[in-house]
Structure 1
Amino acid sequence: MRFQNEKYRSATPADPTIPIRFEVRAIIAIFTLLGIFFSSWVARLPVVKSDLSVNISQIGLLLFCMAAGTVGGLLVARKVQSSLGAQRGLAWTVLISSLFIFALGAATLWANVILVCIVLFFYGASLSCTDVLMNVEGARIERSLKRTFLPLLHAFYSFGNVVGAGIGWFVGMQHISVFAHFVIIAALGILIAILAVPALNSSHSFTVTPLTLDEHFSAPTPLKRDYSLWMIAMLILFMAFAEGAGNDWIALAAHEGHQRPDADAALVYGAFVGAMMVGRLLGGPFVDLVGRAAALLALTIVGIAGIALFIFSSDVFTLFMSAVMWGLGVSLGFPLGISAAASHPTDSARRVGLVSVFGYASMLTGPPILGLFAHSWGILAGLWLPALSLLLSLIFIPAVGNRRKRQVAAEADETPAP
C-alpha cells in the first residue's frame, strides 16, 4: 500500500545531531519491515487456510477484514501524526503491528476464525497507519537529501516482500508453524522499533494533511470536466485490481490450483513481488527511454500474457516465469498513473488525491471480490478477472501519454525566445 496523496508543511527544524546517513538507513529498514509484515501473512495463506479449515470464499472474507482495517488506518493516521509526530507515531505503530502479527499467529494456532478476522482488521489498520507515517518521514528525508529518494524506498518495500516470501518458503520447508513464524516476525518488528526508529531525528517536523473524500469530490468544475484525469483514474483502478489480486491470491492459487507444496507457493509469491521490485528499480530509465504510455503498454501486455500463462501452467518453470511476467506487468501501473496525474503546474495535489482514491479502493476491495468469484468458478478460473482488468486498462493508457505531451508543449510555449 504506497500512500502518496498527502500535503506536507514544515514546522520545527530537524535535530542536526543525527547524521542524515543514519536517517536514510533507518527509513530503509522501516520500509523493508513493512514489506516483510505484509508478505509474511500472504506467503502463509495456504497453511492458514488449512489450519482454519476454511474455503476460498471465507479466505476472501479474511482479506476483506484486513482491507477494512487498512481503510481505518488511513483515516486515523493524521490524528496519530499530529498528536505524536511521525517518529513517535512510527514507534507505536511498528510495535502495535508486531503485537498484532503475534496475535494473528496465536489466533491461527487456536483455529478461531472469528478471532482471526478481528486481529486482521487491527493488523491492517496498524500497517496502513505505518505506511502513511513512513512516507511522511521519507518525504522529509528526500527534501534533506535534495534528490529523488521515495521511489527507491518503495523498491525496498518490494524487497521486504521478497524477504518475507523467502522466510515463508524456509519455514514452510522446515514445517515450522504459522505461530512460530509470526513470533519471529514480531521480534524483528520490535527490534526495528528499538534500533531504527530513534535514528529518525524529527518527531514533529512535518504535519500530514490527507485530502478528505469531500475534498476529492467537491473539486472545481474544471477538475470534474478533465476527462483525461478521469481516464487516468480508471487506468489506476484496473491496474491496482490486478496488482492486489496478485499480491493476495498468487500463493494460494499456486497451492490450491496447481497443487504445489506450501514452500513452492511462497516462492511463486516471491517471484511475483521480486519482479515488481525489479520493474520499479529499472522502470525510471525505461520510461525515460520510450515514454510513459509506451512503457505501460508493453508491460501491460506482458502482464496479461503472464496471468494467462499462470492459469494454464503445467510445470514449475512455467509457473515461476508466469509469476515474473505478472509482477512485471503490474509494477509501474500505479506509480506511472500517479505521476501522470501530478503533471500539472498548480493542481497536482488534488489530482493525485482523486486518482489515489480509485487505486486504493480497487487494491483493497478487489481481492475479496475475486475470492467470491473463485469460490464459484474455481481459483484459477477466477484469475481471469485480473486478466480482464489489465485488458480494460489498455483503453485508458493513452491518457498518461497525452498528459505528458501537453505538459511538454506548455513548458515549451512558456520558454522565452532567445
Structure 2
Amino acid sequence: MNTDLQTKAKPKFSKDYTLHLATIFLGFIIFGISENIKGPAIPRIQFDFRLDEMQIGTLLSLNALGYLIACSFTALLTRKIGIKWVSMAAFGSMAISGVFIFLSHSYPMFTASYFLMYIGNGMLEIGLAILAARIFVRNTGTMMNLSHFFYGISSTVAPMIASGLMTITVWNHTLDWRGMYLAMLMLSVLPMIPALMSKFPGDDLSETERVPLKQLVRDPALWLVVMILSFGVVSEMAVGGWLVNFLEKSYNWEPTAAAGMLSAFFLCFSAARLLLGPITDRIGFTLSIIILSALTGVCTFIAIFGGESYAFLFAAAGIGIAPIYPTVMALIAKRYPRESDTAITFIVTMMGIGSVIGNYAIGAITNGFKQMYGSETELGLLRGLQAGYGFIGLCAVLCSLFGIVLYRYLRVRKQLI
C-alpha cells in the first residue's frame, strides 16, 4: 500500500505534533460530552416544551439524521478546504449551536439548533477519524485506542457534570438545561486553538494522488471492514440501551444495582481502550479484532444462559468490544493511507445504516420470542430478553467471523496489518 504519506507524516514529539495530539484528545473529550449530556436534560426539555414521547423520539432521531448528512459531505469538504478547516467548522458549529440552544424559547428553534449540533457532531466524528488516521502512523493501534479512551472517560462523566450544572445559580439565575448546553458546548472552542496553530499532513495531496471511491469499493477488504465495524458497533452500542432492562426484568434487580453493572461495563470498556492498544499493535489489527470480539461473544452468551451468578460477565464483555472501533480505524489508516478520508466516510456511513438495522432487529427479536413463549408470561418475557440480548452477543461473534475472513483474504495476498 501507499507509504509516502506515512513517511511524510512521521510523528515526532515536536511542537506541531503536540498540537496535533491536543486537537485530537480534546476533540474526543468534546465529542463524548456532546453525545452524552442529553440524558439529564431530556426530561426538563420535555417539561418546558410540553412534548410527548413521539416528539422526543423525533428530536432524538435528529442525531442519526444529522450524523448521516454529515457523513455524506465531510470527506468532500475535507478535499476542498482541508481537514484543518473541517475540524474548525465542526468545533465552531457545535459552539454556535450551544448559543442557539440557550436562546431557544420555541420548539421549532430548539429543534433547528439541536439539528445543527448533530451536524457538527457528525462532522466531528468523521473529522477526528480522518485526522487520527493521518497523524498516528506509528503505534497506530495504541494511539487510536488512547484517543477513544478520552471519549469513553468524557462520556462517563458528562451526565454527572450536566446534572450538576443544571442546578447552579449564576447572578440569581439557575442555568437549567439551556445554560448547561451553552456552557458545555462552548468548550468546543478549546480544541480550535491547537487546531488553528498547527498544520496537518495530507491536505496538500492533489486529486491525481488519490484513489477514487469507485475504485476503493472494488476492494473486497473494504466491504469486510464494513461488516466487522457494523456488527462490532451494534454489539458495543446496544449494551447501554438493553443491559439494565435485561437485569431488571430477567433477574428482578433493583435499578441501582442494574445501573451499577452498566457502570462496571463502561469501566472495563474504558480500561481496555487505555491498556490494550499496545497489544493490538504487537499481534496485528486483524488478529486482535478476531480474538477480542470472540471474547465478547463468549462472555455475553455465558452471562445470558449461565444464570444470574454469571452476570458479572456482562461487564467483562466490555473488555473485548472496546478496542474494536479504534482498532478498525487503525487498520483503515494503515491500509488506505492516501484515501483514509474517503474510506472512513464510506465505511462509517455504511456502519451507521447497519447500526440502525441492528438495533431495530434486537427489539423485533425480543418481541418475537416473547410472543412465541407467551407475551404475558414470565417465561415469555425471559426468553424474549435472552433472545434479544443474545443477538448482541451474536453480533460480536459475527464481527469475529468476518475478521477471520478478512484475515485469510489479507494473508493470501501478504497484506496482513
Cα pair distance change 1:346/1:200, threshold 3 Å? closer
Cα pair distance change 1:162/1:346, threshold 3 Å? closer
TM-aligned CA deviation for residue 387 of structure 1 = 3.9
SS of structure 1 residue aligned to 2:199: coil
SS of structure 2 residue aligned to 1:196: helix
TM-aligned CA deviation for residue 94 of structure 1 = 0.7
2:121 to 122, 127, 133: 127
TM-aligned CA deviation for residue 398 of structure 1 = 2.9
Aligned to 2:171: none
Q: How does 1:209-358 map to 2 (within 5 A)?
A: 219=218, 223=219, 233-246=226-239, 249=241, 260=255, 272-285=265-278, 291-292=287-288, 293-303=290-300, 324-325=315-316, 327-335=318-326, 356-358=348-350
TM-aligned CA deviation for residue 205 of structure 1 = 3.3
Aligned to 2:194: 196
CA distance in 1, matches of 2:264, 2:110: 27
Preserved CA contact (<8 Å) 1:343 1:407: no
TM-score, normalization by structure 1? 0.67
Aligned to 2:351: 359
TM-aligned CA deviation for residue 87 of structure 1 = 2.4
Counterpart residue identity of residue 183, structure 1: L
Task: After superposing the two structures, state which structure 1 stretch, 205-214 or 383-392, moved more.
Answer: 205-214
Aligned to 2:22: 25
Q: How does 1:130-209 map to 2 (within 5 A)?
A: 130-143=124-137, 146-148=138-140, 149-168=143-162, 170-171=164-165, 177-193=176-192, 195-202=193-200, 205-206=203-204
Cα pair distance change 1:159/1:305, threshold 3 Å? farther
SS of structure 2 residue aligned to 1:75: helix
- Per-residue CA shift, 1:300-324, capped at 9, x if unaligned? 2334566899xx99xxxx7xx6774
CA distance in 2, matches of 1:401, 1:54: 47
Counterpart residue identity of residue 25, structure 2: I
Aligned to 1:4: none
Identity of aligned residues (%): 14
Identify unmatched segments of 5+ residues in structure 2.
169-173, 376-380
TM-aligned CA deviation for residue 74 of structure 1 = 1.6
Preserved CA contact (<8 Å) 1:87 1:203: no
Cα pair distance change 1:346/1:12, threshold 3 Å? closer
TM-aligned CA deviation for residue 90 of structure 1 = 2.0
TM-aligned CA deviation for residue 297 of structure 1 = 1.0
Preserved CA contact (<8 Å) 2:90 2:120: yes
Aligned to 2:404: 401
SS of structure 2 residue aligned to 1:394: helix
Task: After superposing the two structures, state which structure 1 stretch, 378-387 or 57-66, moved more.
Answer: 378-387
CA distance in 2, matches of 1:118, 1:382: 37
Preserved CA contact (<8 Å) 1:229 1:399: no
TM-aligned CA deviation for residue 125 of structure 1 = 1.3
Preserved CA contact (<8 Å) 1:56 1:371: no
Identify unmatched segments of 5+ residues in structure 1.
1-6, 413-418
Preserved CA contact (<8 Å) 1:8 1:208: no
Counterpart residue identity of residue 203, structure 2: S
- Per-residue CA shift, 1:218-251, capped at 9, x if unaligned? x3xxx5xx5x87666444333322333345x369
Counterpart residue identity of residue 276, structure 2: G
CA distance in 1, matches of 2:9, 2:332: 30
Aligned to 1:416: none
- For the aligned residue pairs, the C-alpha RMSD in angstroms reads 5.2
Aligned to 1:64: 61
1:73 aligns with 2:64: no
Higher relative contact order (CA 8 A, sep 6+): 1
TM-score, normalization by structure 2? 0.67
- Per-residue CA shift, 1:392-416, capped at 9, x if unaligned? 542452332354356456649xxxx
Preserved CA contact (<8 Å) 2:25 2:147: yes
